[in-house]
Amino acid sequence: MALTSAAYAFTVGYWTAHDTHKDTPPDQAAAALGLNPTDTRKLLARYGRWSPFR
Protein backbone atom coordinates (compact mmCIF):
# COMPACT_ATOMS: atom_id res chain seq x y z
CA MET A 1 0.00 0.00 0.00
CA ALA A 2 2.80 2.43 0.86
CA LEU A 3 4.48 1.92 -2.50
CA THR A 4 1.23 2.60 -4.30
CA SER A 5 0.70 5.81 -2.34
CA ALA A 6 4.26 6.94 -3.05
CA ALA A 7 3.87 6.21 -6.77
CA TYR A 8 0.61 8.15 -6.84
CA ALA A 9 2.16 11.11 -5.02
CA PHE A 10 5.10 11.14 -7.44
CA THR A 11 2.72 11.10 -10.43
CA VAL A 12 0.67 13.97 -9.04
CA GLY A 13 3.88 15.86 -8.25
CA TYR A 14 5.07 15.36 -11.83
CA TRP A 15 2.08 17.08 -13.42
CA THR A 16 1.98 19.80 -10.77
CA ALA A 17 5.66 20.55 -11.32
CA HIS A 18 5.19 20.72 -15.09
CA ASP A 19 2.22 23.07 -14.82
CA THR A 20 4.04 25.29 -12.34
CA HIS A 21 7.20 25.36 -14.46
CA LYS A 22 5.22 26.25 -17.56
CA ASP A 23 2.79 28.82 -16.11
CA THR A 24 4.52 30.49 -13.15
CA PRO A 25 7.63 32.67 -12.92
CA PRO A 26 10.31 31.15 -10.63
CA ASP A 27 10.09 33.94 -8.03
CA GLN A 28 6.33 33.58 -7.74
CA ALA A 29 6.56 29.79 -7.40
CA ALA A 30 9.23 30.20 -4.72
CA ALA A 31 7.04 32.60 -2.74
CA ALA A 32 4.04 30.28 -3.00
CA LEU A 33 6.08 27.31 -1.76
CA GLY A 34 7.83 29.30 0.96
CA LEU A 35 11.26 28.44 -0.45
CA ASN A 36 14.08 30.38 -2.01
CA PRO A 37 14.31 30.28 -5.83
CA THR A 38 17.23 27.81 -5.85
CA ASP A 39 15.42 25.27 -3.65
CA THR A 40 12.23 25.74 -5.66
CA ARG A 41 14.07 25.02 -8.91
CA LYS A 42 15.57 21.84 -7.42
CA LEU A 43 12.22 20.67 -6.03
CA LEU A 44 10.36 21.25 -9.30
CA ALA A 45 13.18 19.54 -11.22
CA ARG A 46 12.97 16.51 -8.95
CA TYR A 47 9.23 16.07 -9.36
CA GLY A 48 9.18 17.24 -12.98
CA ARG A 49 12.02 14.83 -13.86
CA TRP A 50 14.23 17.34 -15.61
CA SER A 51 17.66 18.77 -14.91
CA PRO A 52 17.73 21.53 -12.28
CA PHE A 53 20.33 23.28 -14.46
CA ARG A 54 18.09 23.99 -17.44
Which of the four pLDDT bands, split at 50, 70 and 90, describes residue 26? Answer: confident
Residue at 44 is within a domain: yes
Distance CA 31, CA 14 (A): 20
Annotate 19-48 with b (16+ C-beta within 10 A) or e (fewer): ebbeeeeeeebbeeeeeeeeebbebbbebb
Residue at 53 is within a domain: no
Q: Is pLDDT of 40 > 80?
A: yes
* pTM flag (> 0.85): no
Residue at 13 is within a domain: yes
* Domains identified in the chain, total number: 1
Q: Name the residue range of residue 17's domain.
A: 2-48
The residue-averaged pLDDT of 2-20 equals 76
Residue at 54 is within a domain: no
Residue at 31 is within a domain: yes
The residue-averaged pLDDT of 32-51 equals 85
